[in-house]
Amino acid sequence: MSANIKKSKGGPDRHPLAPWMFLAPYLIYAAVFFVYPLLYAAWLAFHQTDGPQASVFVGLGNFKFVFSDPRFYKALTNTTIYAIASICIQLPIALGLAMLLNNSNSRMKGAFRLMIFSPNLVGQIFVGVMFAVIFTPHYGLFNKGLDALIGWGLEEQWLQNPDLLLPALIIISLWMYVGYNMIYFLAGLQSVDKQLIEAAQIDGASSWQTFLHITLPQIKPIAIFVVIMSTIGSYQLFDLPFALMKGQGFGPGDSALTIVGYLYDWGFNVGDLGTAAAIGWVLAVIIFTISILQLKVTRAYDVD
């Protein structure tokens, strides 16, 4: 590629400024809406603010406060449970559905893919509004469906019971995102070497063995990608519980409080942008650490 460009006479080099002209909007954007706010966020995290005008330097005060606030740990626990459940429940189902689709003929594949993916088009707020009604005790679609299927759950107060609110969120996110992750797994499965699978089957490997030793290693890159993306997405959950709680608080006993909800509460209900910025940094560090850990752990398996 590079040799190709260098060879051409009077090529792009004739216009040394051209790439910079094309990049100019991004460079201005990055300076104003990324680098500057990033530095500003660092500055804010060490200041106590009261509205956009007044600020006092407080050192590590904001961080000390966050780490001593039980609500932060509540938010962290909720978000972590939600993230783990999303990965452990959603991704195996997504992979299973992708495998079912991968073995189907193409017309069926297109139709089912479209249907299972469709909830992803609907924003979290709209989904929250819908499911606030779907989870109504006695009358709600979910309660009635559960009652019809297993004879339990008709009167459960999913959105008022602190023990059921998080499971309700996990069920909704399963409905919303299983199709999204399925599409990634499907793309991964389509690149799996079919001859290798056939060879294994001829050698008498069971379908479980084939899956474990042939399919899984080959879709590993995309699986890592999906796990990391779901984790990052899960830790940024906000809109869905916010709409589900009808914009009024974060559920009984903060049982639907997420880290971003906690950030929003401090920044825009209380109006303390310093604490909000500190929470933002904590969130960034959490996401960063988990992504690195996941990469390290999955790499470690490679060595075996």
Residue 54 in the binding site for another protein (CB under 8 A) = no
Taking CB under 8 A as the binding criterion, the range among 65-73, 110-118, 197-205, 210-218 that sits at the site for another protein is 110-118
- With CB under 8 A as the contact rule, the residue among 125, 192, 196, 197 that binds another protein is 125
| Binding flags for another protein, 193-232, as an x/- string (CB under 8 A) | ----------------------------xx--xx-----x
124 forms part of the interface with another protein (CB under 8 A) = yes
User: How far apart are the two ends of the chain, measured CA to CA in Å?
Assistant: 36
Q: Interior CA angle at 54 toward 48 and 56, to 5°? A: 40
Mapped onto helix, strand or coil, the DSSP state of residue 113 is helix
Cβ distance to another protein smaller for residue 166 or 260: 260
When the beta carbons of 50 and 163 are compared against another protein, the nearer one is: 50
Does the protein bind another protein through residue 149 (CB under 8 A)? yes
Footprint on residues 8-47 left by another protein (CB under 8 A): 8, 10-12, 14-16, 18-23, 25-27, 29-30, 33-34, 36-38, 40-41, 44
Buried b (16+ CB within 10 A) or exposed e, 202-216: eeebeeeebeeebbe
User: Least CB distance from residue 233 to another protein, whole Å?
Assistant: 10
Assess contact for 197 and 215: CB atoms under 8 A. yes
The nearest distance, CB 6 to another protein, in angstroms, is 8
CB of 203: closest distance to another protein in angstroms?
20
Report the site for another protein in 83-102 (rule: CB under 8 A).
97, 100-101
| Binding residues with another protein: total (CB under 8 A) | 102
Question: Least distance (Å) from another protein to the CB of residue 54?
Answer: 12
The CA-based angle 299-303-304, given to 5 degrees, is: 120
Q: Which residue has the tokens 């993230």?
A: 83
DSSP E strands in the chain: the ranges are: 47-50, 54-57
Q: Given the rule CB under 8 A, which of 76-84, 160-168, 208-216, 235-243 is the region that contacts another protein? A: 235-243
Interface region with another protein, contact rule CB under 8 A, candidates 66-74, 76-84, 122-130, 158-166: 122-130
> Which listed residue (63, 74, 89, 129) binds another protein by CB under 8 A?
129
Pairing, β 54-57 against β 47-50: antiparallel
- Whether the CB-CB separation of 238 and 258 falls below 8 Å is answered with yes
186 within 8 A of 98, measured Cβ to Cβ: yes
Q: Which 243-302 residues touch another protein, going by CB under 8 A?
A: 243, 246-248, 260, 263-264, 267-268, 273-274, 276-277, 280-281, 283-284, 287-288, 291
Give the span between the Cα atoms of 127 and 54, in whole angstroms.
39
